[in-house]
Structure 1
Amino acid sequence: MKEQAFASDAPSVAAQLFGSGLIGVREGLETGIVVMILVAFLVKSQRRESLKWVAVGVGAAVVMVVAIFAGIRYGTSTVTGLAAELIAGIASLAAVVIVTWMVLWMRTASRSISGELRAGLTRALDVGPIAVVSLAFLAVGREGVETALLMVGYAENTGGSQWPLIGLLLGIAVAVVLTVAMYLGAVRINFATFFKYTGALLIVVAAGILAYGIRALQTVDWLPGLAHNAFDISSWFSMSSWYGTVAAGIFNFRADPTVLQVLAWLLYVVVVLFLFLRPVPAASQTRSSTDTAATP
């Protein structure tokens, strides 16, 4: 019986692992690139004694991010009813803001992030250890807080399942392995292509989170239109089927969305994908220096 239950839940588990794993790999690589640039710069400039201060800053940032995620995610786990819907709706909308800013910022920032970090680290080395710790803490903490808030919003629709967290940790583990391999020169990644395709997919995922958040706020009467469905295909599209659980697990799809949900989803995807995929200005078309920082 347990094997049958697991088999029936397998598509949902796979969907949750894929969605959160994608977040883990992308965010983990962004963070890994930051750490790799800092470490490579210190090694190349013969300032290895400062590596321990970078490690302190990175460690402090990780602790802060874990505390934020645990505080928000598990601190609200005992809330039920309409209050839970309200929290889920607000967390989902916050996650959409985070992922939108993240993918649009990385669209151009990846081309200059290496130079900015090196310049900042040079100034921090002149000031002292506290400045180095602070630089590493802020650089890694920014990426980590984005991940924590995004995961809270993504996981709100999984009914307390632990699979999104497991998927996130697996994705981060993959990112760590790739980062180390890049630093050692064993692997080279075309970051422009990687961030382009994962960013486009995350935009579609974020659109689903937006639709879910709107539904939650409609449920608590913060937004109108809960009774007005755009369509209802539940008679032939079973949400309990393997394809239904995959669509719900990755994209927060439901067979009976409201008009406001559909309009928000379409508007978000069209506008954000346009902004994300439009050509980068010629002045910014320079080779990303993160590639040159991949080896010591």
Structure 2
Amino acid sequence: MSLRWLLLIWLVPVLCFGAENASSPSAPDFQRIVAELTDQGDRLVAGYSAENGMDTADAFSGLYFDIFEGSGMEAAVGMRDPGLKSELESRFGKIIGLATRGRTQDEVATAWQQLSNQLRQVADAQQPPAVNFWGLLVQAFLILLREGFEAMLVITALVAYLRRQEASNQVRVVYQGAFWALLASLVTAWLFSVVLQVSGAGREALEGVTMLLAAAVLFYVSYWLISKSEAARWQAFIHAQINNALSKGSAFALGLAAFLAVYREGAETVLFYQALSSESNGQWWPLLAGFGLAAAALLILFRVMQAASFRLPIGLFFTLTAVLLYYLAVTFAGNGVLELQEAGWVAITPVDGVARIGWLGVYPTVESLSAQLLLLIPLPLAIAWWWTRRRRRALAGARV
């Protein structure tokens, strides 16, 4: 099984799922939704005091789940700009965190003003639904390309690593992890939208838990790759050991990394296609064409990156692979905590003076920054270990 077959297997259920939900409501009216959010938010802030902070926090949480998410605005924003969606989530979270801790009305009012101003900007910039053929095709193309790219990076890195280590017989473990993740994502999206009608905190919690699990596994795999790369560079008997090492649990870690990376994106991608189908007025050919073109683009990128990985010097290849997975782990950790904060599973302690950097998963709360620091703290220790080991081997080689 290859990436090509994984995408083809996924194509039919995705489109059937969208067809099943073709009766979804039309695209949300951002102006109306933002007006409702602004009206209720203004009244909450005007009546805020430190004593009723928990009530205000609960009310703003209700605005987020019942109006911003419940109206479909969150999904529509995420379909076009996932970074903007995360930033709006973070701003809602900051207000909830300030109110929960009984901070001053000026602080809460300032945070709300920043959020409401950004919501108005989003509403003013809302484009009419992409009901023409080319508009739908471009949207369908960008959804899969954008959502699938991070997952493809993980799969590419793991597959290339195994092949560089002459363990190609273990590549199937990575593809199997991705295959089961695609099935799980379809089932999850179906349960969310058709059976359980899950929304709000439940969906945010599942996304957050999945991201944190993915962060933990990628963190482990990145360090595991570094240790194996050293063995590959310096020990002549690595080729005899690698299959044995993979068969004792490390192969499971690689498959799990692929599963979590794909599952993290899969269910959300299906739901984005469902949202796009509500704007399509029954036009399925542009959705099919956009999906197919994006799948082809991902396959081409996959092949190009695989070919490039074999041309890199082995030391540089291992370093870049480990850095990529490490970066994704840190990003997933920040985004995972953000989702759990929105779900109410994790407290929100705002931090002043920290910028929001969506592509790094950096958000100004103690909890999200702490999760990322837990992954970053071992980095200098690992670098020192790697450098010391390299020096010792160099000295040993010089003596010989």
The bucket for the TM-score relative to the shorter chain is: 0.5 to 0.7
How far apart are residue 68 of structure 1 and its match?
1.7
C-alpha distance in 1 between matches for 2:198 and 2:326: 33
Aligned residues of 1:212 and 1:252 also touching (Cα < 8 A)? no
Instruction: Trace 1:31-70 onto structure 2 (pairs within 5 A).
Output: 31-38=159-166, 54-55=168-169, 57-59=170-172, 61-62=173-174, 64-70=176-182
- Aligned residue number for residue 261 of structure 2: 150
C-alpha distance in 1 between matches for 2:186 and 2:306: 30
How far apart are residue 274 of structure 1 and its match?
2.3
How far apart are residue 32 of structure 1 and its match?
1.4
The answer to which structure, 1 or 2, has the higher relative contact order (CA under 8 A, 6+ apart) is 1
How far apart are residue 65 of structure 1 and its match?
1.8
Higher helix share: 2
Unaligned residue ranges in structure 1 (runs of 5+): 40-53, 125-133, 232-243, 288-296
How far apart are residue 69 of structure 1 and its match?
0.7
Amino acid at match of 1:69: A
Select the structure of larger CA radius of gyration: 2
Aligned residues of 1:91 and 1:153 also touching (Cα < 8 A)? yes
Structure 1 pair 200–230 and aligned structure 2 pair: CA distance change class (3 A): same
C-alpha distance in 2 between matches for 1:164 and 1:213: 30
Please tell me the root mean square deviation across aligned C-alpha atoms, in Å: 4.8
Structure 1 pair 28–84 and aligned structure 2 pair: CA distance change class (3 A): farther
How far apart are residue 251 of structure 1 and its match?
6.3
Question: Identity of counterpart residues, as a percentage?
Answer: 8
How far apart are residue 102 of structure 1 and its match?
1.9
Amino acid at match of 2:258: T
How far apart are residue 74 of structure 1 and its match?
0.8
Amino acid at match of 1:149: L
- Aligned residue number for residue 79 of structure 1: 191
How far apart are residue 140 of structure 1 and its match?
5.3
Task: Normalising by structure 1, report the TM-score.
Answer: 0.55
Amino acid at match of 2:241: G
Structure 2 residue corresponding to 1:191, chosen from 318, 330, 343: 318
Amino acid at match of 1:100: A
C-alpha distance in 2 between matches for 1:101 and 1:205: 11
DSSP-derived class of the 1:38 partner:
coil
List per-residue Cα deviations over 1:204-227 (Å, max 9, x = no partner): 2431133113323x2xxxx376xx
Instruction: Trace 1:93-132 onto structure 2 (pairs within 5 A).
Output: 93-107=209-223, 109-113=225-229, 114=232, 118-120=239-241
C-alpha distance in 1 between matches for 2:292 and 2:382: 35
List per-residue Cα deviations over 1:134-163 (Å, max 9, x = no partner): 84x976553232122133234555571369
Structure 1 pair 108–90 and aligned structure 2 pair: CA distance change class (3 A): same
Unaligned residue ranges in structure 2 (runs of 5+): 1-129, 274-289, 391-400
DSSP-derived class of the 1:120 partner:
helix
Does residue 264 (structure 1) correspond to residue 371 (structure 2)? The answer is no
Task: Normalising by structure 2, report the TM-score.
Answer: 0.43
Instruction: Trace 1:211-290 onto structure 2 (pairs within 5 A).
Output: 211-216=338-343, 218=344, 223=345, 230=350, 247=358, 262-282=365-385, 285-286=388-389
C-alpha distance in 1 between matches for 2:350 and 2:185: 31
Aligned residues of 1:24 and 1:169 also touching (Cα < 8 A)? no
Aligned residues of 1:99 and 1:202 also touching (Cα < 8 A)? yes
